[in-house]
Chains A and B, each alone.
Chain A
Amino acid sequence: MAINKVYESADSAIADVEDEAVVMFGGFTARGTPTGLILALKRKETRNITAITNDCCGGWRLGDVDVSLLIESKQVKKVIASYPVAGSPSRVCALERQYLAGEIELEMFPQGTLAEKIRAGGAGIGGVFTPTGVGTVFAQGKEKRVIDGKEYLLELPLKADFAFIRAHKADKMGNLVYRRAARNFNPPMATAARVTIAEVDEIVEPGELDPEAIVTPGIYVHRIVKRNETETR
């Protein structure tokens, strides 16, 4: 039987994302963000989510959807991120308010460390030694190793129950191509979850995507859903 990973709707694709789920969210500054899946998760009212995301402070552009939406609705118990709050101290987002009130847990990593932990999670690597963060608060409690005279920190892999990712096109087997800088965290996250759900602009038949241009091979992608532009933007 031909493989077909296409789901009817974002709601059906995320129907088994239950309370306490660990979810990776692709996207960067609300570009390449799976906005339809985020809105569906808000409707489902799943709670106590651990959200792994680069950023989650919203406010990038009017009407943009990102993980901040789920934080505002108190569905998130912990955030793992590199850019969790706005650069400007004057713009206080939901995460910053909840974190300072002790209502949400926050674990931060330098952006490259976050990306590499996710890559390691997907690649079956037990950890990576990175020079980033040596001599800073990001080194606290981490194993150090001197390799060739240079100091490194041990960073452990990150995995998730679900990865919500956004791509440009999928074929029905789950092969994905991306568009411009909307690629960002989506490809590494696609590899690091038990169930990867891709939200895409267009779904085509197997064989219609140029095999040389496929960035995420279908083996990593379990569910595909077409974006609903009237709902998301």
Chain B
Amino acid sequence: MRVAKELQDGFYVNLGIGLPTLVANFIPPEKTIIFQSENGILGVGPFPEEGEEDADLVNAGGQLVTLSPGGCFFHHADSFAMIRGGHIDVAVLGGLQVSEKGDLANWMIPQRRVGPIGGAADLAANAKRVIIPMEHTTRDGDAKIVKSCSYPLTAKECVDLIVTDLAVIEVTKEGLVLKEIAPEWRVEEIQALTEPKLIVDKDLREVEL
């Protein structure tokens, strides 16, 4: 919901598999966002109504979707030329760990010894802006915003904004800037769940949805 606010009218946006896909549900009707799916679609529309499904029309997660008016299709090499060429305004991707410098790890848990990279490395490294919505900590309470990622990287120094259930944090050259904070949370409490030192923005405010 908070991530949707970052998407400006007319933006070309790629939403990663899973949680990021939900961002499309929170775009107000007055905004036109063109969603790209790396399997060769510009103009991904909502999920189909019953009877409207087309087996050849799926998003990058393999879910059935529709095509918005003005949408089009292209092949994979063209799709990634679009991504690699820096034409995507925003990529919204899942995250396992984000480092102080904006390194992203989101494709493999080391214990598993194998994982799917898919299109994440291309999107993370080459989109104009990379936003990571994720839980602030792991289920065990470990920090996911870390000094240095212990999981294998997807791309280095690529993340621009981290949006968690507790905070909105911007990655800057000076470090991580705490911009917004969830209601009833204190800065010290957020800091305790975050490995690197947070710079508190002078205009720090409550998260607005």
Residues of A whose CB lies within 8 Å of any CB of B are 28-32, 54-55, 57, 60-61, 82-87, 89, 96, 99-100, 106, 108-113, 115-116, 118-119, 130-138, 178-188, 215
B73 touches A136 (CB 8 A): no
* Inter-chain residue pair count (beta carbon < 8 A): 147
**What's the Cα separation between A113 and B79 when bound, in Å?**
11
Docked-complex contact A28 and B75, CB < 8 angstroms: no
Which of these, B75, B119, B153, contacts A112 with CB under 8 Å? B119
CB-CB < 8 A to A182: which residues of B?
A: 56
Question: Distance in Å from the Cβ of B153 to the closest Cβ of chain A?
Answer: 4
Binary contact track B3-35/A, C-beta < 8 Å → 1, others 0: 000000000000001100000000000000000
Between-chain CB contacts (< 8 Å), 5 pairs: A32-B56, A100-B114, A131-B126, A132-B155, A136-B155
**Given A29-B58, A132-B126, A132-B155: A188 and B76 within 8 A (CB)?**
yes
Q: List the B side residues contacting A180 at CB < 8 Å.
A: 54, 56-57, 67, 73
Q: How far is the CA of A180 from the CA of B4 in the complex (A)?
A: 27
If A110-B117, A112-B119, A115-B79 touch, whether A30 touches B73 (CB-CB below 8 Å) is: no
Instruction: Name B121's contact: one of A32, A87, A138 (CB within 8 Å).
Output: A138
User: Smallest CB-CB separation from B63: which chain A residue?
Assistant: A29
Closest Cβ of chain A to B75, distance in Å, is 4
Top 3 A-B residue pairs of the complex, sorted by shortest distance between their CB atoms: A112-B80, A29-B62, A135-B156
- Alpha-carbon gap, A135 to B126, bound state (A): 14
**CB within 8 Å of A: which B63-86 residues:** 67, 73-77, 79-81, 83-84
CA distance A55 to B118 in the complex (A): 8
> Is B77 a contact partner of A113 (Cβ separation < 8 A)?
no
Q: Mark B38-57, 1 if CB is under 8 A from A, else 0.
A: 11110000000000001111
Answer whether A132 and B76 are a contact pair too, CB < 8 Å, given A29-B39, A31-B62, A99-B114.
Answer: no
16 new A-B contacts at CB < 8 Å, known A29-B62, A82-B119, A183-B40: A31-B39, A31-B62, A32-B56, A55-B116, A60-B62, A83-B117, A86-B116, A87-B116, A110-B121, A112-B84, A112-B121, A133-B125, A133-B155, A180-B56, A181-B58, A185-B75
**Is A184 in contact with B121, judged by CB distance below 8 angstroms?**
no
Q: Does B112 contact A (CB under 8 A)?
A: yes
A119 touches which of B77, B115, B116, B118 (Cβ 8 Å): B77
A138 lies within 8 A of B156 (CB): no
Instruction: State which size class the interface on B falls in.
Output: 35 or more
Residues in chain B near residue A136, CB distance under 8 A: 121, 152-156
Q: Which of A89, A108, A179, A186 contacts B117 (CB 8 A)?
A: A108
In whole Å, how far is A34's beta carbon from the nearest beta carbon of chain B?
A: 14
Cross-chain contact A184 with B84 (CB below 8 angstroms): no
A118 to B121, CA, bound (A): 18
A55 to B122, CA, bound (A): 16
A182 to B75: give the CA distance in the assembly, Å.
9
A156 to chain B, nearest CB (A): 16
Contact B77 A181 (CB under 8 A): no
Alpha-carbon separation in the docked complex, A131 to B83 (Å): 11
Report the bound CA distance from A187 to B61 in whole Å: 21
- With a cutoff of 8 Å between Cβ atoms, the chain B residues found around residue A186 in the complex are 75
Are B80 and A87 closer than 8 Å at their CB atoms? no
B76 / chain A contacts, CB cutoff of 8 Å: 28, 54, 111, 115, 184-185, 187-188
Judging by beta carbons under 8 Å apart, are B119 and A111 in contact? Answer: yes
Q: Is the CB of B153 within 8 A of A84?
A: no
Chain B residues in 8 Å Cβ range of A113: 121-122
Q: Are A137 and B152 in contact (CB under 8 A)?
A: yes
Instruction: Say yes or no: is B37 at the interface (Cβ < 8 Å to chain A).
Output: yes
